[in-house]
Structure 1
Amino acid sequence: MDIMYKGGRPMSETNFYAASHFDISRERKENTSMPSRHYHNGYEIFYLVSGDISYFIEDKSYQVVGGALLIINENEIHKLVNSSKESFERITLLFQEEFLEDMFPYNDSFHVLSSFSSGKNFMPLNGQEQSMIEKLFDKMIAEFTKQPPGYEYYLKTLLFELLIFIHRKTATLPAAEHHGNNPMNRKIFEIVDYLNQHYHEAQTIQSISSRFYISSSYFCKMFRENTGFTFTEYLNNVRIKEARQLLTGSTLKVADIAEKVGFESMTHFGRIFKEITGFSPLKYRQANKPDLD
């Protein structure tokens, strides 16, 4: 266990881990197995599939909800905190720069890893971006796990595609900012926890504002500032993520799934589902049948 010194000031004990050339994993868990503070000599991309957590990178804190991406530079100290104790699902990708060097040489005009030093660690993604990113991660995990012929070259291609997306996304983000652990942050994340557990019930801005004793206008403003999503965007994303799992992991009828995840009409469900995933529910089910091999 090391003691890090930053700017001449001693910091609390922090673990160092040597990064693999490339590693990716997807897990649903309640607790993280990593120590509370750590760093490594590689680049990390963290994607929260579902749930809500707090994430600390150097001196910045982020309240992260499902559908958001974090990028962590080499040797940046970071830790994950799951104060709600509810399960969350995450994808973690860790790689070293050398993994890409032989296939994608860099030049002075464009360095695909420059996003990691921009200070913009946190990026909420809209529904279509989430769908695209999750498909990329799924392909990476399949290649990394099964290791078919040429898998390493395909992994590099997929990773480079992801890094270009991140580079372009970072350029559109406002100046880096983060939020402290004030009472309003905690209230918003009480609301997020509630929505994660009760997404299948009828939920409106007015009903949530009333339940949590906060004005509707202030609630909308603070929810967006703390999560990166509007209330409706977040609720729809949670519902559609659950619907996607039911479409591929059950034989329930589409109408039953729509009702089960909280949509009052098939028309509304179908429109939102296609808006977020790019597919109709039936086409999504057909395109994502489980691999029985």
Structure 2
Amino acid sequence: MESNFYEASMFYVDKGRKYQSSMPMHHYHDGYEIFYLVSGDICYFIGDQAYQAVSGALFIIGMNEIHKLVNASGATFERITLEFKKEFLEGLFPEGQSFDVMSSFNEGRPFVKLTGQEQGYVERHLEHMIHEFTHMPEGYEACLQTLLFQLLLFILRKMSSAQAPEQTSIGTIHKKTFEIVDYMNRHYAERLTIEGISKRFYISPSHFCKTFRKSTGFTFTEYLNHVRIKEAKALLIGTSDKVADVAERVGFESLTHFGRTFKELTGMPPLKYRRLHQS
């Protein structure tokens, strides 16, 4: 297997919507990587394992670990990539710590399964890091060091609290659920229901709800709302469409429901979100 080596940045974080990976070959680098899938569904190869990933998936990739992202469906996905070297954290905390915050990378468990609430926390945390890294306000480097340490500590505690190693390689994420997620990512603007999805994919509603939540960390409605709101955020920033038109384009039949759901997931109304991010 041919693999390419890349020099890692001391610290780098980026968010983007893509159709394919910017590094299509198997590759490795002399730094650490945290990959968070904001929306879409992909396949991630890490070492000799393959992982099916849907929105909310978090991967931690160690130094010199061979990996590759594959987007077989060709549909748009959105991801946040965080890359850093261990030296970036040196000197931030006193010596003699009783634990190593980087030890999660040595567990051989690159996939971190998050609940819906945890996904919200990680997304807000990464968005804060992106803001500091992009705008570079006074003291941004110290802020990034602190935020990175907090994220690594969250991952360490999350993995330590797991009752058993979480194996989520291909075949253990319910194949039917993966197909349903792909369908929802493509048809989020349409009227989707548990009954309709169950009928289309020949699965009982109760079994669908159980396997869907186990695989994604979301209920059906929570996941659908997350997909729709993420698309709405992109439209609010990238277009001048009216809020009512944005709500309709992403599948909300009621402007009131859209506004309430948007505020629940982002912490602010749609117009305030637009003004804040366009400025």
Letter in 1 for 2:51: Y
Alpha-carbon RMSD: 2.8
**Number of equivalenced pairs:** 279
Structure 1 residue 69 and structure 2 residue 82: aligned?
A: no
Letter in 2 for 1:170: M
> Residues 179 and 124 (structure 1 numbering): CA distance in 2 closer, same or farther, change over 3 Å?
closer
Of 19, 38, 55, which residue of structure 2 is paired with 1:30?
Answer: 19
Q: Give the superposition deviation at 1:180.
A: 4.5
| Residue segments in structure 1 that go unaligned for 5+ positions in a row | 1-11
> Residues 174 and 277 (structure 1 numbering): CA distance in 2 closer, same or farther, change over 3 Å?
farther
Map 1:1-293 onto structure 2 (within 5 A). 12-125=1-114, 129-147=118-136, 150-182=139-171, 185-286=174-275, 288-291=276-279
> Residues 177 and 126 (structure 1 numbering): CA distance in 2 closer, same or farther, change over 3 Å?
closer
> Residues 189 and 18 (structure 1 numbering): CA distance in 2 closer, same or farther, change over 3 Å?
same
Q: Give the superposition deviation at 1:42.
A: 1.7
Instruction: Assess if the C-alpha contact under 8 Å between 1:61 and 1:178 holds in 2.
Output: no
Distance 1:184 1:42 in 2: 29
Comparing 234-243 with 30-39, greater Cα deviation is found at: 30-39
Instruction: Assess if the C-alpha contact under 8 Å between 2:51 and 2:170 holds in 1.
Output: no
Distance 2:113 2:244 in 1: 30
Distance 1:217 1:128 in 2: 22
Instruction: Assess if the C-alpha contact under 8 Å between 1:47 and 1:70 holds in 2.
Output: yes
Letter in 2 for 1:235: L
Comparing 52-61 with 115-124, greater Cα deviation is found at: 115-124
Instruction: Assess if the C-alpha contact under 8 Å between 1:128 and 1:277 holds in 2.
Output: no
Q: Deviations over 1:132-188 (max 9, x none)?
A: 434443443344345455443332223223223333333444522334544984433
TM-score by length of 2: 0.85
Comparing 226-235 with 206-215, greater Cα deviation is found at: 226-235
> Residues 130 and 177 (structure 1 numbering): CA distance in 2 closer, same or farther, change over 3 Å?
closer
Distance 1:145 1:168 in 2: 28
Identity over aligned residues, as a percent? 60
Number of the residue aligned with 1:7 = none
Letter in 2 for 1:72: I
Distance 2:173 2:31 in 1: 34
TM-score by length of 1: 0.81
Comparing 232-241 with 258-267, greater Cα deviation is found at: 258-267
Distance 1:198 1:153 in 2: 42
Q: Where does structure 1 differ by over 6 angstroms across 4 or more consecutive aligned residues?
A: none
